[in-house]
Structure 1
Amino acid sequence: MSDVQFAAIETPSAGALTIEYRWLNRDRENAPLLVFLHEGLGSVAMWKDWPQQVCDAGGYRGLVFSRPGYGRSTPRPAHGKWPVDFMHRQAREVVPAFLDAVGVAHDEAHPVWLVGHSDGGSIALLFAAAFPDRLTGAVVLAPHLFVEDVSVESIAKTKTVYETTDLRAKLARYHDDVDSAFWGWNDIWLNPEFRHWNIVGAVASIGVPLLAAQGENDEYGTMAQMDAIADHVPHAQIVKLPDCGHSPHRDAPEALNAAIVAFIGPAGQSDQSENSLPAQSVA
């Protein structure tokens, strides 16, 4: 991608890092900004066209970036392992440092929304809990609040696929260091210590507007994740998508885009509360 740029950041845990990023519709200076946080094997390129589609649907600006270890960002150190609290560190160290580096500041005239998928959704939830003054709200797609058996079983199967098929070659199209991306994600999720990871307590403190969406056929998590959000963040809007797996933006983009635009509101319409959806299943 010729319009990809790079930002230098510094974090307490990882030191100096280079972050790959891409702006969408940057000329819409006063439009809401959607900052996209990818899943555990994602990157700027792996989002493909969906961020552009949803930004065009609502008239938004967009900012897509690859977290450390993914895409063309600084890879995971050789033989390094993500710690159990890696998503907390991403939310509290990497995301704020990156937003500062590229000049993103939230205020009434420049609303900022996080849009996170899977691990990126969990990171968005943790950021919303820790830095409520830095964003207008968040949209999370198939986030994890705790580890389920179905998650571990699916990730274990993916390990076998990576080792025995052409999956590695396919993922290498999207990551400069494909083994950094895959094994960083796979090793931590299959680490027995990670089975105790749980962010329900942190999520309960979220006060900003929150839309959570998940496919009813999600192979990496059950609706217990959505139910936990509904129980602990009563103001959250829940969308359960039928005939949809772990990636709503790929499996049900039209329904998802409509839900997001209805929740955030089209550009130029500032009162989000008038456009929020009730908890529902989208047919």
Structure 2
Amino acid sequence: MSSTLPQDLPIHEAGDPASRTVLVLHGGGGPQTVAPIVGHLAATMHVLAPTHPGWDGTPRPETIASVADLASGYLNRLLDDGEHDVVLIGSSIGGWIALEMAVQAAADERYAGLIGAVVDIDGVGVVVEGEPIADFFALDARGLAEVAWHDPERGYLDPEKLTDAQRANQQANGRTMAAITGTGMNDPALLGRLGAVQVPVLIVWGESDRIVTPAYGRAVARAVPGAQFVEIPEAGHLPHLEAPEGTWAAIDPFLARD
């Protein structure tokens, strides 16, 4: 499997290029949902935060048709750029991409030393018996806030207050997400493949997440050799937005030790 990302893919860069590189991978809500992670890590690391192909009006080539394709594309871009020991941090779908990258890297000697660690924040992507992923595509704005946020009022975005352009962009992002992840937002084989991961992994989870529950997150952690699991109080699917200080308290020591 070998995919290539568009050469003009938007990649926000922050921090000192001489520092260790961290690739920050956003979820279905787009790059703005991981902006706090970018801002926090830019003080100590070299941050790369791409916009996935097909999100926010970017083109998506036919060769990028799955999360596995995205993962392969990002691995090849990092390799072509001469990177090594890269930290992957992914939120939601981004967490799925990060784990898929770690699995692919472990299976291909071309990527030896390329990935150094993974932080998966409330990532979807696996199938856990008894812990289904919420049907994101069936939820309206109110329903999404209820399952994704500890404080639903804080997370609710009134569709009536969106501009036509914002609404069109949101709908286009949803179509891209469905095309890449499938309507179930999972790869039935991924959980069994996580045992191949060879780098330190931290699984961070909001205790109030009802898109994918903490029990789901613990199952992911059990499947990855040596993975750590940290639950963030008073936070849902995006703990870095609802409880940033608690999220940094989990991530920073992990990165300092790694």
TM value normalised by structure 2: 0.77
CA contact (8 A) 2:95 2:121 kept: yes
CA contact (8 A) 1:147 1:195 kept: yes
CA deviation map 1:50-91 (0-9, x unaligned): 3112332xx1121111010113532577xxxx85xx111111
Corresponding residue for residue 15 of structure 2: 25
CA contact (8 A) 2:141 2:158 kept: no
Matched-pair identity in %: 23
Q: Give 1:189 shift.
A: 6.0
Alpha carbons of 1:139 and 1:190: their partners in 2 closer, same or farther (altered >3 Å)?
closer
Are 2:47 and 1:62 equivalent residues in the alignment?
Answer: yes
Secondary structure, aligned partner of 1:151: coil
Alpha carbons of 1:137 and 1:171: their partners in 2 closer, same or farther (altered >3 Å)?
farther
Q: How does 1:198-213 map to 2 (within 5 A)?
A: 198-213=189-204
Corresponding residue for residue 215 of structure 2: 224
Deviates more, 1:115-124 or 1:32-41: 32-41
CA contact (8 A) 1:220 1:246 kept: yes
Secondary structure, aligned partner of 1:19: coil
Are 2:161 and 1:182 equivalent residues in the alignment?
Answer: no
- Matched to 2:172, the amino acid is S
| Separation (CA, whole Å) in 1 of partners of 2:165 and 2:127 | 27
Q: Give 1:152 shift.
A: 3.3
CA contact (8 A) 2:204 2:231 kept: yes
| Separation (CA, whole Å) in 1 of partners of 2:163 and 2:16 | 30
Are 2:38 and 1:48 equivalent residues in the alignment?
Answer: no
Deviates more, 1:241-250 or 1:217-226: 217-226
CA contact (8 A) 2:137 2:183 kept: no
> After the TM superposition, which segments of 4 or more aligned residues of structure 1 sit over 3 Å from their partners?
11-18, 147-150, 152-155, 158-162, 167-173, 175-179, 186-192, 194-198
RMSD value, Cα:
3.4
Alpha carbons of 1:195 and 1:171: their partners in 2 closer, same or farther (altered >3 Å)?
farther
Are 2:100 and 1:129 equivalent residues in the alignment?
Answer: no
Q: Give 1:225 shift.
A: 2.5
CA contact (8 A) 1:161 1:167 kept: no
TM value normalised by structure 1: 0.71
Q: Runs of 5+ in structure 2 lacking a partner?
A: 107-111, 145-156
Secondary structure, aligned partner of 2:250: helix
Secondary structure, aligned partner of 2:22: strand
- Matched to 1:65, the amino acid is P
CA contact (8 A) 1:125 1:203 kept: yes
Q: How does 1:6-155 map to 2 (within 5 A)?
A: 16=6, 18-27=8-17, 29=18, 31-43=19-31, 45-56=32-43, 59-75=44-60, 86-92=66-72, 94-100=73-79, 103-106=81-84, 111-132=85-106, 133=112, 134-147=114-127, 151-155=133-137
| Separation (CA, whole Å) in 1 of partners of 2:160 and 2:82 | 35
Q: Give 1:154 shift.
A: 4.1
- How many correspondences in the alignment? 238
Alpha carbons of 1:152 and 1:234: their partners in 2 closer, same or farther (altered >3 Å)?
same
